[in-house]
Structures are given as C-alpha cells and as structure tokens.
Structure 1
Amino acid sequence: MTAVLPADLLAPADAEGPASAVLQPMIERFVNGAAGDGLTLRANRAALDAICVVPRVLRDVSATDSSTVLLGAPCAVPAAVAPMAYQHAFHPDGELAVARAARDAGMPFTVSTFSSVPVEEIAAAGGTTWFQLYWLRDRGVTADLLARAESAGCSALVLTVDTPRMGRRQADLRGSFRLPDGVRAAHFDGSADGLPAAARTGVSAIASQTAGLVDPSLSWRDLEWLRERTRLPLVLKGILDPRDAAAAAGLGADAIVVSNHGGRQLDGAQPAITALPAVAAAVAGRCEVLFDSGIRSGTDILKALALGAGAVLVGRPVLWGLAAAGQAGVHRVLDLFRTELHNAMALAGCPDLAAVAGLATTGGPVPATAAGSVR
C-alpha cells in the first residue's frame, strides 16, 4: 500500500481509513471497538450529528481567535489530547510523536497511566503535559506515580472515575486481545504491569490487567487522600450525572470531563453531549468543564462549546493520524481540528470563544442556562 501523505487528509476522520489499512487487525479492533453492542459508541455520534447550530450574522469575523487557558496553561485551541494507552502499538514513535505534535499545535497532551513511554521522556518533549491516573489497588504505586508526574513537570492530574472495571469489549474478547511484542506499560516493571504472559481464548489481556491493578472501591472519600499527596490541579474524567458534577465541584475539583469513555465502558450509557448542559449548570462555574466522547471535527468542538464546555479532549482521530503517518499524521489531524474550528466560528458569526458560548442550538439538548434549573 502507498504510504498516506498528511496533505491527503482533508478532515480529521480521513485518517481512519489509512490507519485501519496499516494496523494489525487486533489493534484496529481495539482502537475502534466499543463495549457491548456498541450502542453508546453509535449514540455519541448520532447525538452530535443531531445538534444544529443557529449562526449569527453581521458580526465581523475577519479574524477569529480560538485561544484560551486550560487549567492555567495558555492553549491555541480549546482542546487537549485525551489519555490513550500503549501508543507504541500504533507507531514506533508512540507517545513521543503525539506529545510533540500536541506541543506544536498548542494543545495539552495527557499521559496515560498505561503509557508505553515514561512520563519523564514525554514531559521532556516540552509543551503542556497532564497525567492521567487510574486508582490502583497498590497505594504505594499510586503515590509513586503521583510523585513521578509532579517531578516530571506535569501541570494537572486527570483521575479517571468511570472505570471501576473494564467494560466488556466484545471485539477484544472474541479476538483474545493482546499487545504486540515489545509493547509494555512503561510505568510498571514487567512483573507488575498486570499483563498475562500469554493470550487465552475469550480473554482480553487489557481487561485482565485492569481487573488486577485497578481498585473498584474508589469513592469520594479517597479524593482527600489524593489531595494530600499532590499539589497538581485535579480533574475528574468520566462524569455524566449533574449530581456527581456538583459533588466534584463541592469537593474542590479544578475541572471535570463530561465523558462516557468514548462508548468503551457502560454500553447503553447516555451520550455524553446530551449530558453536557445539565452538568455545566450543576457546576455553575465552580470548576472548568471539559468534554469528550465522539469529537471528530471542528464543528463538533463548536457544538460542545455552545452547550457548556470550555474545551474538548480528542481521542481516536489522534491515534488514526499516528498510525497513518506518525508525528506528521498527528500534526495534520490536530491542525485540521483547528482549521475546521476557525471556519465554523467564522460561519457561525463568532470572532472568539465567548461568542461561541453564546450560540443557540436546536435538535439536541438545550443549554441549561436557557432551560432552567437542574433538578
């Protein structure tokens, strides 16, 4: 197959086809798969597609400004790269390629607990680096990861709260998923990363790893322990219910991410975009509100901002770009998000992000500021 040139990609989602063509089938199913029957995965996309933006006119959009500040760091666009594990499975340069592309694009990069490159190497690439944490059974290992993230220069801690156990990802189970040879969790030694030595029929190595390492007893009271051990801003990722959002803000979370894990956890969970307005209203400005699950275009970013998000996290398209063309592919995908967002802003009559936040929408959830109080 002829290698894809980044210039051949005209939209972020264009990278999916070239990525699927070069990835091992097991890895392709892993990145594009979902929990259960894929109901939530498809619902995320359908819900975003159903939202229509009501453009404003005569607003002077000769220049558009998408810059913002996320958790104290200036960003060129209201977006960050979501935490995604084992990026060496997609390209030999793995997380380093993505982190460098995010740096060049002016976006934060989120290091996964299960990164295939150590946080120290990723942070050394420059740019804004966040660290994603799974709540591990071994508190000593958890404390060590926190210390490493701080020492490396990470500027925020993203605690994933929607994964007490892994969703039943049927494609991984049917294919007896295992990682390619040589791809390991860089923050654990080989005996402690929880990966089984060999694949077994009907068993996903990643699911076995999660069951062995991640503590399902995580609760609100554990946040105090976490706060005592890190000075980093705390982000809770995986919130859909306004009551949980209010609790997070009340306990001092610096940000939340409205997310259903891209359809990879509870199949049948609410589409994240439909949860966003009520969650934003429940927070009432007490912490930053981010969004992920289904973002595929700059127009999707515009919709999320209009419905109450301050920024989005982008996931699968980044891995598609990485698989298709390495760092250049990721850079192209991120640049396309920026280009499409600026185009959408101009066509919607929005010279800046404050104007985007004031847009009306139809066909989807009504922003809670217009709908009334959350009950």
Structure 2
Amino acid sequence: MSTPRIESLPEGLANLADFEAPAQARLDANAWAYLNGGAGDEITLRANRAAWDDIRLQPRVLRDLAGGHTRVTLLGRELPVPVLLAPVAYQRLFHADGELAIAHAAAAQGAGLVLSAQASVPMEDVAAPLLADPAAGPLWFQLYWRDDPAFMRALLRRVEAAGYQALVLTVDAPVHGARDRERRAGFKLPEHIRAVNLGGLKKPLDLQPGQSALFDGLMPRAATWAQVDWLRAESPLPLLLKGVTHADDAREALARGVAGLIVSNHGGRTLDTLPATAELLPPLRAALGPDVPLLVDGGIRRGTDVLKAIALGANAVLLGRPYVHALAASGALGVAHALRLLRDELEIAMALSGCKTLADAGPALIWPGTSRPRTSP
C-alpha cells in the first residue's frame, strides 16, 4: 500500500487532547497500555505536562505583526512550522496504515518526521511522500545502537539511500524502564507487527552462572561515547542525540561534533522521577550556547507550549503521544488535522504575545512571577 486510507474525523475535535477518547475507544487494552503508560509511578509522565502548564506568558502589545510567520531553519533546512513527529515504534499497533499515514500527514502539513528504527512500515515507503514534496519538513531516522558493526553499516547505507537527512541516536534507553501499566496488561506485540527495517536476530546473551542479565549481558553492548564517534565517522549524515538531560553530557556531545540535541526523558517511559523537559531545556541551552540546534519533546499539547519551548531555548519541538492518538482515531487525516490545530494555536499565541516571528520569542516572553524552570546547570 503506497497511499493511506481516508477516514472521517470524529466530531468535536477542538484540540489535541480531544483525540484521546476516540483513540482509546478504538484500541485494545494491550495497545493502550503501551502507548499511554509510563515508567514506575508515572511521576515524570505527569510532570512533563504540568511543567508547561505552570509556565506563564508575558505578552507585548501594539506591535506591527503584519507578515508574521512560524518558519524556522534547522540544520540548513527551512521548516514551515517548528514541529516534528517524534519516533514512536510499531505504529501499525495503533492503525493499519501505521507510519505510512503519519508520513502523508506530515508532508501535507509541513511538519518534520523522525522515523523510529522500530517502525512497522519499510523506511522507503515512509520517506516517499516527504521526499516528493519540496515544501515538506525534514526527514530523520532514529537509531538504537546494536552491537554489530556490520549490521549497523548496512542499516546506515539503507537509511542514506532512502533519502533520510539526519540520524537521531536515542541515548537514554539502553534498557526498558519498569513500565507497570504494560506489565499489568501483559503487553505483547501482535505476531503480524514487527520492526520491518531491522532484519536478523540479536546475538543471544552469553552469561555465566550468577551473572546479571542486565549488567553482564545487556550493558556491555550498550552505546557509549565511542559509538557516537563511530556513527559520526561511518555516515555523512548529521547526528543528533536524543535523551540528553545533563549539561555535562551536552558539552561532551558538542565537543565530539554532534550536530544537535533533543531534550527528552522518553515521555516518562524510562527512568521515573526525572525532571520535566521544560525544566531541563534552559540549562541545556546554556551549556550548548545559542547556535547548536536544540529540540524538545514531552508533554507538548498546545500552541502555547510550542511558543514557551521556543522562548526557553528550543529551535523546534517533537510531538509524541498526541499524534498517535490522532492516528488511532482517524488515520492520516486525523494526524494532519492535529498538526493543523497545533499550528493554528501557535499562530494565535504568537499574535497575542506580540511575536511576529519565532525569533521574537525569548526569555522575556516568560513571566518571572510564576513557576519558571531554572536557567543554570
């Protein structure tokens, strides 16, 4: 299938949160636990959303905003709107069209797309609609490290040949978090859904009696800074790291020539009680300086959230669960509609805040008298 099916939209969709109920109605308990659950007590999952709510805006008035726009430039490419779809695995778990649907939606709305290495649709099929539209947003490929250089080289060559423009290495999930919702639901991936771009089997663990499967088996295979250097040497594509939360790691990444960072706590799905991404953003921007591309995900639901993220130092944001809710609710049309709603809200927020362009959104836009993320490492 090269084009997604067209479905009708549920009634009453005024914002991104409105997609959640129709999505849940169409998904079984297995898929819903995987999508909406977080790690542990889900403290970080809730904090991501609450942090954006706690930040207040301080607008300016009577400015000339004629000719304003939402465009930004990222890695030399202009985006119509500073929004990318975050990598989410196994999207055919939520809709039969899976990643094909979100690719068409992103192309139609000028959003970028970061495809998960664990996508359930071939990477070439996902790339086609974005590459066919010169006005489409950027197309990046997300990687998890696999301790098999030959496999990784073959994967990189395929990613490059398919037209992807950057690599995103996820660095905050060498193992799964303790996801109670999934365990209670007995989550299991259906047999007809798999990571179609990852051929072959992982090498079995070679453990001696009494050894830890995690520390003696998995962790010796996990990525380190040496693998970051290896990826930079092996591929001409720019490399971004997703999941950096500490300023010292940000500086280390910069010293090793990484092209940019994505501030992320994995949507609260790995280590619980991490700070919210809105809190992490300012110190990481301070560590990187003004010129290194910095993106953020986690809890983004409103156009005001996008504007706040830009004011706190982000160049763009990534949308996660909300677009998957839209996918589950009504396929490609649902995702396109969600992206349009978010863009409309961003334009409204800019106009009401006195921002002609996103370059006008800086720290002064954040009201200092309310809860405000710390700004030093």
Q: TM-score, normalised by structure 1?
A: 0.89
Match of 2:128 in 1: 124
Q: Cα gap change, 1:121/1:9 in structure 2, threshold over 3 Å: closer, same or farther? A: same
Report deviation, 1:181: 3.5
Match of 1:365 in 2: 372
Alignment match of 1:47 (pick from 31, 48, 51): 51
Match of 2:321 in 1: 316
Q: Distance in 2 between matches of 1:351 and 1:298?
A: 15
Alignment match of 1:59 (pick from 60, 63, 81): 63
Alignment match of 2:12 (pick from 8, 11, 19): 8
Q: TM-score, normalised by structure 2?
A: 0.89
1:134, 1:214 within 8 Å by CA — same for their partners in 2? no
* 1:62-211 alignment, distance < 5 Å: 62-126=66-130, 127=136, 128-189=138-199, 192=201
1:34, 1:263 within 8 Å by CA — same for their partners in 2? yes
Report deviation, 1:333: 0.5
SS in 2 for 1:256: strand
Q: Distance in 2 between matches of 1:216 and 1:267?
A: 23
Report deviation, 1:340: 0.5
Structure 1: any 5+ residue segments left out of the alignment? 195-207, 369-373
Q: Distance in 1 between matches of 2:328 and 2:280?
A: 31
Q: Distance in 1 between matches of 2:326 and 2:202?
A: 27
Q: Which letter does structure 2 place at the counterpart of 1:14?
A: D
* 1:248-287 alignment, distance < 5 Å: 248-287=253-292
User: Matched residues, percent identical?
Assistant: 45
Q: Which moved more, 1:279-288 or 1:261-270?
A: 279-288
SS in 2 for 1:130: strand
Q: Distance in 1 between matches of 2:285 and 2:303?
A: 21
Q: Distance in 1 between matches of 2:29 and 2:217?
A: 26
**Deviations 1:88-126 (CA, angstroms, capped at 9, x unpaired):** 111111101001100111111111110001111111222
Matched, 1:33 2:37: yes
Q: Distance in 2 between matches of 1:253 and 1:296?
A: 28
Q: Which letter does structure 1 place at the counterpart of 2:350?
A: M
Matched, 1:349 2:359: no
2:43, 2:273 within 8 Å by CA — same for their partners in 1? yes
Matched, 1:227 2:236: no
Q: Which letter does structure 2 place at the counterpart of 1:266?
A: L
Q: Which letter does structure 2 place at the counterpart of 1:280?
A: R
Q: Distance in 1 between matches of 2:220 and 2:13?
A: 41
Report deviation, 1:187: 1.1
1:135, 1:214 within 8 Å by CA — same for their partners in 2? no
Q: State the Cα RMSD in Å.
A: 2.2
SS in 2 for 1:65: coil
Q: Distance in 2 between matches of 1:82 and 1:89?
A: 16
Q: Which letter does structure 1 place at the counterpart of 2:144?
A: Y
Q: Cα gap change, 1:187/1:268 in structure 2, threshold over 3 Å: closer, same or farther? A: same
1:78, 1:311 within 8 Å by CA — same for their partners in 2? yes
